[in-house]
Amino acid sequence: MSSRFRRLLVLTAVLALALGASGATASRGLVGNLTNTKVAGINVDQTTIPQLEALMNSHRINAVKLTNFYLRRIRQSNAVLHAVITVSPTAHADARAADRARRSGDHRPLLGIPIIVKDNIDTTGMPTTAGSWALAGSTPPDAFIVQRLKAAGAIIIGKANLSEWANFRSAPSSSGWSGIGGQTSMPYVLDRNPCGSSSGSGVSAAADLAVAAVGTETDGSVVCPSGTNDDVGIKPTLGLWSRAGVVPISSNQDTAGPIARNVTDAAVLLGAATGVDPNDDATSAQTGHAFSDYTQFLHSNALQGARIGVWRAGTYDPLLVGPVVEPILANVKSALQAQGATVVDPTDIDLSATANELSALLCEFKSDIGTYLQTYVHGTNPVSHAPYPQTLADLIAFDQAHPNLEGPWNDLIFELADATNGRDSACDDLRAATTPPVQAAINSLMAANHLDAIIALTNGPAWPNNADPNEGDLNGHFELFVGSSGAAAVAGYPDITVPAGHDQGLPLGITFIGGQWAEPKLIGYAYDYEQATHIRVPPQFIPTIGDALFPGVPNP
């Protein structure tokens, strides 16, 4: 672990980051510092963005105080949480500018709201590294979605740690680990894994390191860290948010999305970043389907009369994990029914076509990462003193030349992708055999059962962090995995996760899945469920609860 601290300090010197050596706070002292989330007498952990805007309009609080509060929490926590890679050097100036704009009558929906974005999303003035030293110091201009957030008044105060290369480099791996940022820890139990790849984004929202955060997902990387950290996360329909200026895995599945502590804030961010981007053809399809304000769909009676299906098969092992997760799923069903929904159980999605998913992603990644590097990454790497990589083969060569920076994990996924021909006719055939069948499976299931949405467990209890390159996530026990992201991810359809329960203090989420452009309906259902249950609790930064992977069941 000490080598990771040294790497973080080297990056601090190279990139003049604002995290500094002051983050040596011990986890024991962390709790007392971070459980207090009041600013000017206002508990910001429990205050939504619209409420913060009203408070700033009435001069109860301002952007400078908010920004200072979050920057201080980042400094206090980062040596333990490793959730933030970079802090904006203009954060204070941006906050002062937001306060001046408000005094001049500006009332944009995110004015003065501090936001953290994942460090694979391009941001002017802050490096975009995907967690890898291969991109250390690379500073492309703002991605389209960052432009949109700033246009709505948001202050981008920092970049979140992540699973390096969005967890598409090595096998096995540890979610939340990157060469630059080290291993992210979840704030509920500090030695547990926050899930990935938007690990730092999920932790930043949960631990009040910003008002809200932005993550990215190819398959599970928004919803899993959201569920694991008691957050709300939205993975939008493909094309609702632009992908231009975001380090890719595959344009066929990639999308960014909001992560927040409540459905209201996630809805505010979702609307703020929509828009047709001339640099992303997929966004043209959103015309007539997108909204700049999704808060209009926050209805506390949205579930009344809705038909909700329950998806179980393939999302968890009922024998190994069922004793932990099924009581939580039963509670969710009861809450939905109490709100007036009809629950159809089971309604399982046929995911047989996802057998092609990895093969499709490998060939798509080879082409798409090369396009990103050649479009956005220019100049000389300040660590290697050589030109930045421009191809996947260059990235592999960098890792081989710098094992002290990029260990302990291998490059197996990189190597498998590089062995393909990239986007060719065979790659196109793989995608055609993957996405349309899953879309058809969801569409036909919903139509046959007259469903408005499908629910499934988002995640299981967080597992202990593990740096063993032979085991990685879940300590090698992948039969204990709980997840339902594949259906919406492969289909390009939306889903939203909401806190659903806890197992010995470890959060579990429930995912609402819908058809293409179903965000308004899903947000309404999620909000109704959230307001009826109020499951989320703030983190207490407990050091450990022991080594059991799932506290409710014996280790396998």
Question: What is the distance between the alpha carbons of residues 546 and 544, in angstroms, rounded to a whole number?
Answer: 6
Question: What is the distance between the alpha carbons of residues 237 and 223, in angstroms, rounded to a whole number?
Answer: 13
Please state the rounded mean pLDDT for residues 224-247: 98
- Contact assessment for residue 266 and residue 258, using Cβ atoms and an 8 Å cutoff: yes
pLDDT in tens, 87-126: 999 999 999 999 999 999 999 999 999 999 999 999 999 9
pLDDT in tens, 316-369: 999 999 999 999 999 999 999 999 999 999 999 999 999 999 999 999 999 999
Backbone angles phi, psi at 320, to 5 degrees: -80, -40
Where in the sequence numbering do the catalytic residues fall?
Answer: 118, 197, 221
Region of poorest pLDDT, from 14-23, 205-214, 254-263: 14-23
3-state secondary structure 140-194: CCCCHHHHHHHHCCCEEEEEECCCHHHHCCCCCCCCCEECCCEECCCCCECCECC
pLDDT of residue 30: 67
Q: What is the mean pLDDT of the chain?
A: 94
pLDDT of residue 139: 98
pTM comes to 0.95
Per-state percent for the chain, helix, strand, coil, to nearest 5: 40, 15, 45
pLDDT in tens, 519-548: 999 999 999 999 999 999 999 999 999 988
How are beta strands 255-260 and 495-503 bridged, if at all? Answer: unpaired
pLDDT in tens, 354-402: 999 999 999 999 999 999 999 999 999 999 999 999 999 999 999 999 9
Q: What is the token pair recorded at 517?
A: 């452009």
Nearest Cα to Cα of residue 431 among 486, 534, 362: 362
Percent of the chain, pLDDT > 90?
92
Instruction: Return the SS3 of 476.
Output: helix
Instruction: Return the SS3 of 325.
Output: helix
> Distance between the two ends of the chain, CA-based, in angstroms?
27
Percent of the chain, pLDDT > 70?
93
pLDDT in tens, 462-519: 999 999 999 999 999 999 999 999 999 999 999 999 999 999 999 999 999 999 999 9
pLDDT of residue 433: 98
pLDDT of residue 407: 87
Question: What is the distance between the alpha carbons of residues 252 and 484, in angstroms, rounded to a whole number?
Answer: 19
Please state the rounded mean pLDDT for residues 220-229: 98
Please state the rounded mean pLDDT for residues 303-324: 96
If pLDDT is split at 50, 70 and 90, which confidence band does 33 have? confident
How are beta strands 42-43 and 177-178 bridged, if at all? Answer: unpaired
Q: For the chain, where do the domains classified as CATH 3.90.1300.10 start and end?
A: 2-277+305-355+433-533
Name, in order, each residue with C-beta under 8 angstroms of 190's C-beta and a sequence gap of 6 or more: 27, 80, 81, 541, 542, 543, 544
Whether cis (ω within 30° of 0) applies to the bond prior to 408 is yes
Distance of CA 377 to the CA centre of its chain: 23
In this structure, which topology does domain 2-277+305-355+433-533 adopt according to CATH? Amidase signature (AS) enzymes (3.90.1300)
